[in-house]
C-alpha cells in the first residue's frame, strides 16, 4: 500500500520536504558579512513559526527575511539599522532580544533586583543566626555542670 502511495507522495515531498534554515544560495560571498547576517538573523524571530529564529526556520517568509537582512547589509546598513528596518515592518514581536526600555525594564531588572533583595535578606538572616550572644550563652544546667568540672 505504501509503495502505491509512495510515487505520488514523492512529488509532494519536493514541495513540503522542507529544507531548513539558511540555503547555500543565500550565503554571502564575504565571510565577514555573512557572519554578521547570521548573527542578526539568529536573533530575529520568524513571524509565523512557533519560537524559531529566521536562521533556523524553514518557512518561506523566513527565507525572504534572511534575504532582506543580507540585502540591507550589502547596501551598507549597520547591524542596528538592519534590525530597525525589519522591526519597523514586523513589530517588536520579531526581536528575540527584547529592548531594555519602558515596561521591558521590569523583565531585565527583575533578576538582578531579586538577587540584591535576596542577598540583603540572607545577610540579615545570617547575621541574626550568627548572634554571638546566642552562640555562647549556656543553659542553667550547662553552667552548673561547667562549675562542677572546674
92 and 60 Cβ atoms separated by less than 8 Å: no
Report the C-alpha gap between 36 and 69 in whole angstroms. 9
- Regarding 102 and contact with another protein (CB under 8 A), the answer is yes
Of 51-59, 66-74, 75-83, 142-150, the segment contacting another protein by CB under 8 A is 51-59
* Alpha carbons 141 and 23: distance in angstroms, whole number: 82
Q: Which of 31, 93, 148, 150 binds another protein (CB under 8 A)?
A: 93
Asked if 31 interacts with another protein (CB under 8 A), we say no
Q: Tell me phi and psi for residue 127, to 5 degrees.
A: -60, -40
Give whichever of 93 and 147 is closer to another protein, judged by the CB atom. Answer: 93
| Dist CA 10 CA 136 (whole Å) | 82
Using CB under 8 A as the criterion, what x/- string covers residues 119-148 for binding another protein?
x--x--xxx-xxx--xx-------------
**103, 147, 148, 149: which one contacts another protein (CB under 8 A)?**
103
Residue 136 burial by Cβ neighbours in a 10 Å radius (0-12, 13-18, 19+) = exposed
Q: Which of 74, 105, 114, 146 binds another protein (CB under 8 A)?
A: 114
Q: Min. distance of Cβ 79 from another protein in angstroms?
A: 13
Amino acid at each position: 500500500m505504501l509503495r502505491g502511495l509512495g510515487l505520488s507522495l514523492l512529488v509532494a515531498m519536493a514541495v513540503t520536504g522542507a529544507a531548513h534554515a539558511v540555503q547555500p544560495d543565500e550565503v554571502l560571498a564575504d565571510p565577514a558579512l555573512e557572519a554578521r547576517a547570521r548573527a542578526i538573523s539568529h536573533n530575529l524571530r520568524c513571524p509565523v513559526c512557533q519560537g524559531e529564529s529566521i536562521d533556523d526556520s524553514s518557512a518561506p517568509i523566513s527565507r525572504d527575511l534572511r534575504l532582506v537582512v543580507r540585502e540591507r547589509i550589502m547596501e551598507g546598513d549597520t547591524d542596528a539599522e538592519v534590525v530597525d528596518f525589519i522591526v519597523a515592518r514586523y513589530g517588536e514581536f520579531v526581536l528575540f532580544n527584547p529592548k531594555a526600555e519602558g515596561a521591558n525594564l521590569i523583565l531585565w531588572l527583575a533578576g538582578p533586583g531579586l538577587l540584591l533583595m535576596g542577598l540583603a535578606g540572607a545577610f540579615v538572616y545570617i547575621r541574626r543566626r550568627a548572634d554571638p550572644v546566642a552562640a555562647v550563652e549556656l543553659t542553667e544546667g550547662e553552667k552548673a555542670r561547667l562549675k562542677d568540672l572546674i
